[in-house]
Amino acid sequence: MIGTTVARLRRAFPAAEVIVADDGSRDRTAEVAEEAGAVVLRLPRRGKGQALSAAERAAPPGALLLCDADLSGELEALVKLDGDLTVAVFAERVGGGFGLAKRVARGLIEALGGIEVREPLSGQRALSAAARAACFPVAAGFGCEVRMTIDAARSGLRVREVELPLGHRATGRDLGGFVHRARQLRDTVYACGPLGINFHGLRLPLVGWKVGVTNGPAVAAVAALGLIDDLWSGPERGFRAHLRSGRTTGVLKLVGIPAVGLLATRRVCGALLVGLAANALNQLDTRPGRALKVYLAAAVPLDAPVAVAVLLLPYDLREMAMLGDAGSNALGALLGLNSVKRFTGRGQWLAIGALAGLTILGERKSIGAWIERAPVLSWIDRLGRVSV
């Protein structure tokens, strides 16, 4: 099917470059697409939105035409209409479930984007250069189309739909179809929540708030402070930069997280442990899985909860989601609170000294670069992470 789709696109748009983002397929998709004349990006399996973002970075400047690999029909009319984001509506519905995912998607687009649409999940889309700049990188997974529409509408761009006689390999009302639509629904909800951009330039759902939801009011308060930083932080990095800038979300965390620790433990050492541990995990959260691995290694001797970290680790490692400051600060706070419970007075102050030293080191040098230079630590750090 991919070979036919590529051939049709090359005939319809002879001056355009056809790029196929192969999202970790296990068949001959990449080879067939190359034989048909496409430029193929071979990617690790992450999700549709991540693959689209990688393909967009590889594409030349200007307008974009997006389509699914199993499409049948002509798309010339899609690029001829006057609009910034033009979405194809299938003239005839084939397959599908009971419409729950589409209804939720339409409702979210109307609530967050202020527009009504017929086909919120269509992957056949033409984007102007302005829409491309406003929408990319797109949200992760199957939520990319819904968030793309919302971002275009919020940017004041023209969003249009056009009905076309198109076909594709539709899912039915069987187990595979319901699993696919459940993933669509999950990804759509995540795409409309808080998002962050990771070091690879992927726009991923920030799921670290789950650490706060499941571990009591003190950790929830720290997660909330971290989420504020995720959503509204500026370019400042490090204590000195935040203090020089004055009223930043970083300064809010600098004051707020130790205050939470003080209220939760009624001890100055508790405030210091919570604040310094939260900052330490935040410093380490610069590569997928790194902060979670350090947390799990420390959680066992401290008898800290591990369930939520174990659940989040595969998604973080595969760059399908990210902790953000909400998650890394909350995990650090958990370690700090359990340190107060497990250590004696002398042990607490030794831990404070070690964390303070790590903080000072992080202000002067990159801890991540130090980890990557140490062979054993580097191997542990890369373990389970997808390769690019």
Average pLDDT in the 348-366 region? 88
Residue of 91 and 135 predicted with greater confidence:
135
Residue of 131 and 96 predicted with greater confidence:
131
What pLDDT is stored for residue 341 in this prediction?
92
Residue of 289 and 174 predicted with greater confidence:
289
Contact in structure between 250 and 329 (CB atoms under 8 Å):
no
The answer for 96, left when phi > 0, alpha when psi is -120 to 50, beta otherwise, is: left
Average pLDDT in the 327-351 region? 94
Computed over every residue of the chain, the mean pLDDT equals 89
Least confident of 38-42, 225-229, 360-364: 360-364
Max mean pLDDT among 56-70, 239-253, 363-377 falls in: 56-70
Separation CA 325–CA 225 (nearest Å):
8
Helical ranges in the chain per DSSP H = 2-12, 29-35, 48-58, 76-80, 100-113, 129-135, 144-154, 175-191, 209-213, 216-232, 239-245, 249-265, 268-284, 290-302, 307-317, 324-342, 345-364, 367-373, 375-382
Contact in structure between 65 and 126 (CB atoms under 8 Å):
yes
pLDDT over 70 at 84, yes or no: yes
Confidence of residue 166 (pLDDT cuts 50, 70, 90): confident
What pLDDT is stored for residue 247 in this prediction?
66
Q: Which amino acid is at 3?
A: G
Average pLDDT in the 269-292 region? 94
Average pLDDT in the 144-162 region? 96
Cα angle 220, 224, 230 (rounded to 5 degrees) comes to: 140
What does pTM read for this prediction? 0.86
Confidence of residue 352 (pLDDT cuts 50, 70, 90): very high
Average pLDDT in the 28-32 region? 85
pLDDT over 80 at 98, yes or no: no
Residue of 309 and 167 predicted with greater confidence:
309
**Cα–Cα distance list, 29 to 21, 23, 38, 188, 250 (Å):** 10, 10, 11, 26, 46
* φ and ψ of 46, to 5 deg: -125, -45
pLDDT over 60 at 246, yes or no: no
Average pLDDT in the 185-210 region? 93
Number of other residues whose CB lies within 10 A of the CB of residue 10: 15
Query: 39-58: per-residue pLDDT in tens?
Result: 999 988 888 999 999 999 99
pLDDT over 60 at 9, yes or no: yes
pLDDT over 60 at 192, yes or no: yes
pLDDT over 60 at 243, yes or no: no
What pLDDT is stored for residue 278 in this prediction?
96
Query: 100-115: per-residue pLDDT in tens?
Result: 889 999 999 999 999 9
